[in-house]
Chain A
Amino acid sequence: MHDLIATTALGAAAPCVDHHGPISLTEEPGFALASIAARRGGERTTILAIRRMIGPTAPKAGHWAGARIIAFWTGPDQWMLEAPYDSEEFLFERAIKEVKGKASITEQTGAWCRFDLRGTNLAAVMERLCPINMATFTTGSATRSSIHHLGCFVLCRNADHISILGPRSSAASLHHGLLTAIRAAF
């Protein structure tokens, strides 16, 4: 076992938590990510592999699905897998075993920072951030959008809980943008 200590995207040992009005904004470092892209002819196998990892259905375009391990659609025949880091640090290796050479797997854990918005009326915050139509962006929706010029994945976990995954190197800029929007909205 190595003895290196991971830092969060914002650079601290512990995640950053902010509260403002009815909204909380938390940095969520505790998850592993792996991308999964079907190889030519491996589309069916890939979907079956995803199902084995996440549950009965693989998410279609614009959605996520799953429970402990989830997958969200990122492009044609492409998904991202997400799971708790503590138990699934080697999510990418697990995925490689599942797809049996029919999909390309890439570890993405370190590439993204994740911020979660929790509270009521998250639409009031989101409408200042990106063009996602919150009226139709309900539980199970997942899409990529541009937030403060950063390509981010946005997942609606439920009506009062949204996750935003952004490029890790810009975590501080993204965090500032999110916090600013919350303070402007409430």
Chain B
Amino acid sequence: MSQINRLSGGKIDRHQILNFTFDGKTYQGHPGDTLASALLANDVRLMGRSFKYHRPRGVLTAGSEEPNAIVELREGSRQEPNTRATTAELYDGLISKSQNKIGSLRFDLMAVNDRFSNFLTAGFYYKTFMWPSAFWEKFYEPIIRKAAGLGSISLKDDPDDYDRGFLHCDLLIIGAGPAGLAAALTAGRAGAQIIIADEDFSFGGRLNSERFTLGDQSGSDWTGQTVAELSSLPNVRIMARTTVLGAFDHGIFGALERVSDHLLQPAPGKPRQIFWRIYTKGSLLCAGATERPIAFENNDRPGIMLAGAMRSYANRWAVTTARKVAVFTNNDDGHRTAADLHAKGVSIAAVIDIRPDAPQSNDFEVIAGGQIINSRGRLGLKSIDIALPAGGIRQLSCGALGVSGGWNPNIHLTSHHRGRPEWLPDIAAFGPPAKGPAGLRVAGAAKGDLTTSGALNSGTEQANAWLKDLGFVPTAPDLPEAEDAPISITPFWFVKGCKRAWLDQQNDVTVKDVHLAHQENFVSVEHLKRYTTLGMATDQGKTSNMGGLAILAELTGKAIPEVGTTVFRPPYTPTAIGAFAGRDRGTAFRPTRKTPSHAWAEEQGAVFVEVGMWLRAQWFPKEGETDWRQSVDREVLATRKSVGVCDVTTLGKIDVQGADAATFLNKIYCNGFAKLAVGKTRYGLMLREDGIAMDDGTTARLAEDHFVATTTTANAVSVFRHMEFARQCLWPNLDVQLISTTEAWAQYAVAGPNARRLLQKIVDPEFDLSNEAFPFMACANITVCGGLRARLFRISFSGELAYELAVPTHYGDAMIRRLMQAGEEFDAVPYGTEALGVMRIEKGHAAGNELNGTTTALNLGMARMVSKTKDSIGSTLSERSGLKREDALKLVGLRPVNPANPVPAGSHLMSKGDPVDAAHDQGYVTSACFSPNLGHFIALAYVKSGDSRMGEILRLVSPLTGFDHEVEVVSAHFIDPEGERLRA
């Protein structure tokens, strides 16, 4: 029969039936249900297997603190492991599975672990897998890996999206129970911008779970009315299904909103979850309290749960776990559970209260001074054994047991900044630290005000305190009269003599484990936690930490506050990594930068390569070319023979202006710029302050007070940053202004013997491009194509007669088309980054491989560029003796002795006859390529004293791949060493 455990009442919509499955079997529930409440309604108590011993487990709680009822939700690519059935909102079509079992949930083969429990105690791994050490990798680790973890993952891409967002408010209220709602009403009516967030899908907190009245209203009616009023206020943002995960610095909170977890799948375009970053002036923690259990022998059977949870299931979800239940308590609150279930017609076997003076009831038996010493039932609770105060043991049959050891304030966020919680003797629990995160106040049960009246009042009080601080006029809402029963509790943590009494049900840590840890001298709470793993699972010990501390306190003869507690860290509840990643995944992982010629290059069938965020054309395959080398060789040969065009927009361009621009550049570059003539361009080498080469590029002087500096593509951002540092922090009185113009200009290199003839068709006729009028390293503002403003630089990376032409970026597409059209008569080719690389290696130009963060001007063969007559960044530390040693690495060229051999980059060089080891290393290859002009491979390399070793034959080795060939040290300038071409 369906839902045999359903009671009357509750906050569920009985008119609607929701079908769902658990382990393949179909059940029914209602809107308002969680997976846990719906399973209990259908008399399913067994929901999972424990982590280590694979013991049968059921639901312990009714909230996010749940350690046991951890299930897999959904299937296929949306399968999600380790989800708490107690917070999973039921929807029609929900598919769920139990986890951590081999075979079925009822007959888990791994349950054999329980038989070997003596071997699986605290420190089991550290003790067992020590030797033989060779066993670790091949034997132990695979077994442990297989056994470890609870759920399984789909190994498929998550089809859903996650958003990130940013919110601002005056006051963030965390938790929408009585304290949070009272606070929101107070601050909302005063006009403050507030956000009130609660992890539950239904506001009200414990008011949903209690029978208390507020004034003449039921708790849920008052909640409904309050939420309705808050919703009507434009300054209040209500966020249900939103967990505030962490308190970060200066009023920043992280919160996860589950937008679509309660739907079969997210609506089109909508995210599954949103990770919000909330900026707030003030914050108020009203996170309530979590009940804690009492440990006794075999206290982990399905059917044994927290008494408050049992009451929640009855009142909020109209569910009882069994038709006959018992309660075990050390405080008055436990009796409420019995009273509420009795009122719902559930039979109460007894209330076992450890206190001899426990209050009696007319409705059910109370065994004052009794203690539960064992439980029975293989897959679910059947009976309990009670040690009676007068002696003797009584066995009592019941299908469920509610346990209450008192309530712990949910102070997690208050210790996210390392604040140490403080002991509250009245409620025998830790309360918020004296010094929590700045700007975080606490109210309600989270503060230790465990009564409804206390919560309402402290919520109002703390909200008013904030209003005052924030400059609003405090208000006093008409609070209803509410429950105000005194808290009566006798601290009691575990039943003496118990061994396999579970403290941490998720990590299978028992009372005995804590004893063992203590016996082995783990007496600090931090050590206890790590040695036993107490409180380290997905529930982070929300129900178990206190029990462990209390036992440790007893064993060490200290009071609990002396033992102290571990502090909490974000996130408050487990959070999917996807939520942190947001939309940054796949092709949207980071923005893509496209060059102005991108569309045109795509039309040409270009192959693209990622260079940082840029997509650059790598080569342009022509019909019939099957190998990238064919394309690249063709592009190189055609360029050197006639003319080629390459998009070089990606190089960083920085506009440097001001009366002191030249002085500034003199400090930035190790070589001089002050005397550079207007209309000229110069190569500059930029050093870090430690003398290591940072970047290089050409800088053009367009006017006395106006330069354009170029950077390498990769360093555009860091060079700009470096120059701003120098401008603002080092030489703040120089008159110099910087702005990036990388994106403002589309820039094309036009290289090859016919470069001038091609450009003469583009550049307007009034600009003379002859070698005399516009020689090598000239630059000018010009116009092209009948009047479009442009810049022309006669610079050459390829070693050919070459120019770089810049036009405003929006004309970049038009310009590449015009250039290629004009170049048709010269058989102009477009060339990509590979051909660019080949030509610069042939020419012996250094690039990123050579400026690799370890090399100096001396290594690069540019020591003479470091001016000694002026101060520049890096010039002084370049003088360190260690950087100027005689056998310093020098940049040279290499060519294979056997022209058929490759010269792989990364290979190392050894002198002939020397052993191949690091001690005899002579240097390494930085860049290598096949030179189609020379017909063999060539390379650039750093070689010790390389400049004086021309002609020497070295061994080029790669011990990893077994590569070992002879190469000859040659000049790095393979092509046109005299530079005749580029000056032609």
A and B, one complex?
yes
A-side interface residues toward B, CB under 8 Å?
Answer: 1-9, 11, 29, 35, 37, 39-41, 78, 104, 106-112, 127-128, 130-135, 148-150, 167-174, 176-177, 180-181, 183-184
- Contact of B808 (CB < 8 Å), options: A39, A78, A110, A181: A110
**Given A109-B744, A180-B583; A39-B166 close (CB under 8 Å):** no
Residues of B contacting A3 in the complex (Cβ-Cβ under 8 angstroms): 785-786
Q: Is the C-beta of B250 less than 8 angstroms from some C-beta in chain A?
A: no
**A109 CA / B809 CA spacing, docked (Å):** 8
**A124 CA / B193 CA spacing, docked (Å):** 16
Besides the known contacts A1-B787, A7-B810, A78-B739, 13 further A-B residue pairs in the complex with CB atoms under 8 A apart: A3-B785, A3-B786, A4-B811, A40-B658, A104-B737, A106-B741, A110-B810, A111-B744, A169-B595, A170-B591, A173-B591, A176-B588, A184-B163
> Which chain B residues numbered 697 to 746 have a C-beta less than 8 Å away from chain A?
705-706, 733-735, 737, 739-746
Choose the segment among B73-81, B269-277, B298-306 that binds chain A (4+ C-beta atoms closer than 8 Å): B269-277
Q: Tell whether, in the assembled complex, residue B735 and residue A40 are in contact, meaning their CB atoms are under 8 Å apart.
A: yes
**Given A6-B814, A184-B271; A135-B168 close (CB under 8 Å):** yes
Residues of A contacting B734 in the complex (Cβ-Cβ under 8 angstroms): 40
Residues of B contacting A2 in the complex (Cβ-Cβ under 8 angstroms): 783-788
Residues of A contacting B193 in the complex (Cβ-Cβ under 8 angstroms): 135
Contact pattern, B 265-294, Cβ under 8 Å of A = 1, otherwise 0: 000111100100101000000000000000
12 contacts between A and B (CB under 8 A): A29-B810, A40-B735, A104-B739, A106-B655, A107-B744, A109-B810, A130-B166, A135-B168, A167-B743, A169-B614, A171-B594, A184-B270
Minimal beta-carbon separation of B340 from chain A (angstroms) = 42
Residues of B contacting A29 in the complex (Cβ-Cβ under 8 angstroms): 810
Candidate in B161, B277, B657 with the most chain A CB atoms within 10 angstroms: B657
Q: Tell whether, in the assembled complex, residue A131 and residue B658 are in contact, meaning their CB atoms are under 8 Å apart.
A: no
Q: Tell whether, in the assembled complex, residue A109 and residue B786 are in contact, meaning their CB atoms are under 8 Å apart.
A: no
**Given A111-B809, A170-B593; A40-B659 close (CB under 8 Å):** yes
Candidate in A106, A110, A128 with the most chain B CB atoms within 10 angstroms: A110
> Which chain B residues numbered 148 to 169 have a C-beta less than 8 Å away from chain A?
161, 163-168
Q: Tell whether, in the assembled complex, residue A104 and residue B657 are in contact, meaning their CB atoms are under 8 Å apart.
A: yes
**A174 CA / B743 CA spacing, docked (Å):** 15
Q: Tell whether, in the assembled complex, residue B787 and residue A110 are in contact, meaning their CB atoms are under 8 Å apart.
A: no
> Which chain B residues numbered 768 to 806 have a C-beta less than 8 Å away from chain A?
783-788
Q: Tell whether, in the assembled complex, residue A131 and residue B279 are in contact, meaning their CB atoms are under 8 Å apart.
A: yes
Residues of B contacting A170 in the complex (Cβ-Cβ under 8 angstroms): 591-594, 613
Q: Tell whether, in the assembled complex, residue B743 and residue A112 are in contact, meaning their CB atoms are under 8 Å apart.
A: yes
**A6 CA / B788 CA spacing, docked (Å):** 11
Q: Is the C-beta of B14 less than 8 angstroms from some C-beta in chain A?
A: no
**Given A2-B786, A104-B658, A107-B808; A11-B598 close (CB under 8 Å):** yes
Minimal beta-carbon separation of A142 from chain B (angstroms) = 17
Q: Tell whether, in the assembled complex, residue B163 and residue A149 are in contact, meaning their CB atoms are under 8 Å apart.
A: no
Q: Tell whether, in the assembled complex, residue A110 and residue B746 are in contact, meaning their CB atoms are under 8 Å apart.
A: yes
Q: Is the C-beta of B92 less than 8 angstroms from some C-beta in chain A?
A: no
Interface residue count for B (Cβ, 8 Å)?
64
Closest 8 CB pairs of A and B: A110-B809, A183-B269, A104-B657, A173-B591, A111-B744, A111-B743, A40-B735, A169-B593
Minimal beta-carbon separation of B159 from chain A (angstroms) = 15
**A150 CA / B740 CA spacing, docked (Å):** 15
Minimal beta-carbon separation of B415 from chain A (angstroms) = 26
Minimal beta-carbon separation of B88 from chain A (angstroms) = 23
What is the chain B residue whose CB lies nearest that of A80? B739
Residues of B contacting A127 in the complex (Cβ-Cβ under 8 angstroms): 165-167
Minimal beta-carbon separation of A7 from chain B (angstroms) = 5
Minimal beta-carbon separation of B258 from chain A (angstroms) = 14
> Which chain B residues numbered 579 to 636 have a C-beta less than 8 Å away from chain A?
583-584, 588, 590-595, 598-599, 613-614
Contact pattern, B 653-688, Cβ under 8 Å of A = 1, otherwise 0: 001011110000000000000000000000000000
Q: Is the C-beta of B815 less than 8 angstroms from some C-beta in chain A?
A: yes
Q: Tell whether, in the assembled complex, residue A110 and residue B744 are in contact, meaning their CB atoms are under 8 Å apart.
A: yes
Residues of A contacting B527 in the complex (Cβ-Cβ under 8 angstroms): none
**A148 CA / B658 CA spacing, docked (Å):** 33
What is the chain B residue whose CB lies nearest that of A147? B591
**A23 CA / B659 CA spacing, docked (Å):** 47
**Given A104-B737, A106-B739, A133-B279; A39-B658 close (CB under 8 Å):** yes
Q: Tell whether, in the assembled complex, residue B583 and residue A177 are in contact, meaning their CB atoms are under 8 Å apart.
A: yes
Q: Tell whether, in the assembled complex, residue A106 and residue B657 are in contact, meaning their CB atoms are under 8 Å apart.
A: yes
- Contact of B743 (CB < 8 Å), options: A8, A168, A180: A168
**A142 CA / B764 CA spacing, docked (Å):** 40
**A34 CA / B161 CA spacing, docked (Å):** 38
Residues of A contacting B912 in the complex (Cβ-Cβ under 8 angstroms): none
Minimal beta-carbon separation of A76 from chain B (angstroms) = 9
Residues of B contacting A174 in the complex (Cβ-Cβ under 8 angstroms): 591
- Contact of B269 (CB < 8 Å), options: A106, A108, A184: A184
Minimal beta-carbon separation of B314 from chain A (angstroms) = 39
**A30 CA / B584 CA spacing, docked (Å):** 31
Q: Tell whether, in the assembled complex, residue B588 and residue A110 are in contact, meaning their CB atoms are under 8 Å apart.
A: no
